[in-house]
Structure 1
Amino acid sequence: MRTARFLFLCMCCVLGFTVLPLQAAETGEVPQLTDPAQEFRKVAAQTNIPWFYIAAIYQYESSIHNKKKLTSGQSAVQIPAQDWCGPMNPNQLDRDEGTIRVFHGIGRDGNKDGIADPTNQTDVIYSLANLLRSNGLTEDDIQISLWNRYEDTMVVDRVVAFARIYNQFSTADLSQKAFPIPNRYNYSYRSTWGDKRGWGGRRMHEGTDIFADYGTPVVATSYGYVEMKGWNKFGGWRIGIRDLNNVYHYYAHLSAYAKGIQTRSIVTPGQVIGYVGSSGYGKPGTSGKFAPHLHYGMYFDNGTRSYAVDPAPHLRRWELQSRRK
C-alpha cells in the first residue's frame, strides 16, 4: 500500500499537479494554481482549446465556487451536482462518465482513472475544457459555449476578459497586489467603512478614503481590466477595475485619468490609472466640495449577487507588502 502511494505521488509530480494555497473565502482572493499554467496547457493539448480560455473559466468558476481548505490535486471549483451529473440523473453522486454523458452532465474523467471526480483538479479542468469545445473550436464557438453555460452576457464578457489577461502575460500566476498610492507620496487613511453620508440621500460609506495631495498618482491594486470609466454623480471621475478573483475595485473622486486608460484596458499592479482629486457630488465636472482624496471600494461577486466589503484590512496588508518591496 505504501509503495503504491509513493508511486502515485511521484506520478502527480511528473504530471505537474500543484498544491493550491489555503485562502479564506472572505479575502476575495480565491485559490489559484501556483504552477504557471502547466495543467491548463496539458489539457489544452488534449482538447485543442487555448489554455488561457481554460484558465479563465476555471478561475471564474473558482471565484463563485471556491473552497476554504484544499489539498494537493483537489479542485478549487465546486461544480454543482446537477451540472456535473446531469439535472435528470437519478444518481446525483454519479461518477461514471458514460451515464453522466447520457444525462448531459459536464463531468469527465480527465486523469483516466475510471472516475469522473468533481473534487479532482484534473477532472474538473478537463470537464470545463470539454464544455468550452462543445460547439466548436473558434473564438465565436467558445463564446457560444460560455453563453450556453451561464446565459449571461456579462459573465461571458468577464471570462473572455480573463482569457485576454492570461494570454497577454502567458502565465496563470497573477496574484501580485499593490497599494493604490505609491510609497514615495504622502497619504493618510483610516477605516471609514459604514460612516454615514448625507449628499444624495442617507447612505453608508462603502469604502476607505485615502487622503493625499491633489494630483497624486493612483495605481491599480491588481491585475485586471477596466470595466467602467467615466462620471458618476457620487464618485465624480471614477474607474472600476475587475480583477481575476471577480472582485470589482472602485477608484473615485479622481482629477484626471492616466493616458491610455480606456474601457477594457488591461492593467497591472502598480500601474498608474489616474490622479487624486475632489470630483463628484454633482453634475459632470463638479469638483472641490471636499478635500482631495481617493475613495477606494471593493465589491465581491459570488455569481448571484455583488456586495461591498471593508477594504481597509486589504489595504493594510498591501501597504505592508509594498513597503517591504
Structure 2
Amino acid sequence: MRKTMILAMVLFFLGAVETGSAEAEEDPEQDIYAERMALYKNMESVTHIPWYWLAGADAYERGIRRAGNDREEAEGVISIYYSPKEWSGPLNPEFDAENPVAVSMFNGAGLDGNGNGTASLSEDADVLYTFAHYLSGYGYDDNNIRKGLWDYYKRDQAVRSITNHARIYRKYGTLDLDEHAFPVPLRYNYSYNNTWGDSRGWGGRRIHEGTDIFADYRTPVRATSYGVVELTGWNKYGGWRLGIRDLTNTYHYFGHLTSYEEGLEKGDIVAPGETIGYVGSSGYGPPGTEGKFPPHLHYGMYRDNGYSEWSFDPYPSLKSWEKQAKKEA
C-alpha cells in the first residue's frame, strides 16, 4: 500500500515539476511557489499532515537560514534542515550515507520520500517526507502537530511562529504572500530619517532600535506585511505598541500609538496596507502617559535566528516600500 502511494506521489510530483519548468522562463519566483506547493500537497496526501503546516515549518526554517550563519544555503526549494549527522545517524561512520537501510540501522532520521531507493539530503522530497513523517507520529490534528513541533524544536517561539505561519497560509491558500506596504499612507504628511542606532537617554542609556516616522496625531498606521499580531498593550518606552510577526520570522514593532484600530486583537491575521492603529505620542512613563515628545510612529524590525532576536536597521526596507508605493500610486 505504501509503495503504491509513494509511486503516485512521485508521478504527481514529476508532473508538477515538468509543468513548472515550462513556466520558469516567464516567472521563476512563481515556479518556485508552484514546486513547493506541489511538494506540500504530495506529502499531505501521503502523511495526512495538512500542507499549510508543512509550509509554515518550511517558512520558519527559511527565515532561520537567512538570519543565521550556522547553516548553509538550502540546495533545493525546501529549507527544512537536518545536519548530515542527524540524517545518517549519530554513530554512522558515513555521514553522506543514502542507503535507507543503513541510515535506519544507525537511527538516522533520513527517509526515502520519492521511492527512488535513496534517502538523500539533497532531494527535497526526501527531506520534506522525513519531516512530515515525524509529525505524523503525533497525530494529524492541530494540537498534536503542535506537540510534535515542540518535541522537534524544543522552543516555544518556533512553535508559535510555525503555528501562525500555517494559519496565514491556510487563510489565503497560496504561498505568494511577499507583498509589503509602507506603514503610513502616502497622502498624509510625514517625514523620517535614518535614526536607527542613535543614543537614547530616557530610562537609561540605550540605542534607538528603529526609525521614527513623524506624522500628525491619528494618522493611520498600516501593517507592512502579511503576519499575525503577536503583542499588544502598554510598554513604558513604547507606550501603546503593537508587534506583528511575518512569514520570514521578522518581528515588526509599532510604538507610541494613540490607539489601535477598532476590533484589532492579539492573534489576528493582518495583510500589508491594513490599518492597525494610529500615530500618537504615548510612552515614556506609566500607562496613559502622552505628550512627552512630538507625535510619531516608532517602527522597528527584529530578526529571529532560532535562538534569539535582535534589532536591525529598518530604514532600507522603509525606503524600498515607500518607493514601490509611489510607483504604484
Check the 8 A contact 1:22/1:70 in 2, yes or no. no
Output the aligned Cα RMSD.
Answer: 2.6
Distance change (3 Å), C-alpha of 1:322 and 1:97: farther
1:185 partner letter:
Y
Q: CA deviation at 1:151?
A: 1.5
Higher helix share: 2
Equivalent of residue 155 in structure 2, options 140, 152, 158? 152
Instruction: Show CA shifts across 1:133-161 (max 9, x none).
Output: 12222222211211110122232122111
Q: Distance in 1 between matches of 2:290 and 2:133?
A: 52
Q: CA deviation at 1:115?
A: 2.6
Structure 2 counterparts to residues 242-253 of structure 1, below 5 A: 242-253=245-256
TM-score with structure 2 length normalisation? 0.86
Residue of structure 2 in register with 1:162 after alignment: 165
Q: Distance in 2 between matches of 1:152 and 1:315?
A: 31
Instruction: Show CA shifts across 1:279-323 (max 9, x none).
Output: 000000100000100000000001012111000001111111122
Check the 8 A contact 1:242/1:249 in 2, yes or no. yes
Residue of structure 1 in register with 2:40 after alignment: 40
Deviates more, 1:142-151 or 1:236-245: 142-151
Q: Distance in 1 between matches of 2:37 and 2:262?
A: 32
Check the 8 A contact 2:178/2:225 in 1, yes or no. yes
Instruction: Show CA shifts across 1:182-207 (max 9, x none).
Output: 12111111100111100000001111
TM-score with structure 1 length normalisation? 0.87
Q: Distance in 2 between matches of 1:144 and 1:68?
A: 28
Residue of structure 1 in register with 2:203 after alignment: 200
Check the 8 A contact 1:206/1:309 in 2, yes or no. yes
Q: Which runs of 5+ in 2 are unaligned?
A: 1-13
Distance change (3 Å), C-alpha of 1:104 and 1:58: farther
Displaced runs of 4 or more, over 4 A: 15-19, 66-71
2:152 partner letter:
R
Identity %: 46
Q: Distance in 2 between matches of 1:201 and 1:32?
A: 50
Q: Which runs of 5+ in 1 are unaligned?
A: 1-9, 24-30
Residue of structure 2 in register with 1:57 after alignment: 57
Check the 8 A contact 2:58/2:78 in 1, yes or no. no
Equivalent of residue 13 in structure 1, options 13, 17, 24? 17
Check the 8 A contact 2:255/2:297 in 1, yes or no. yes
Q: 1:237 and 2:248 equivalent? A: no
2:60 partner letter:
Y
Q: Distance in 1 between matches of 2:55 and 2:309?
A: 23
Residue of structure 1 in register with 2:7 after alignment: none
1:208 partner letter:
T
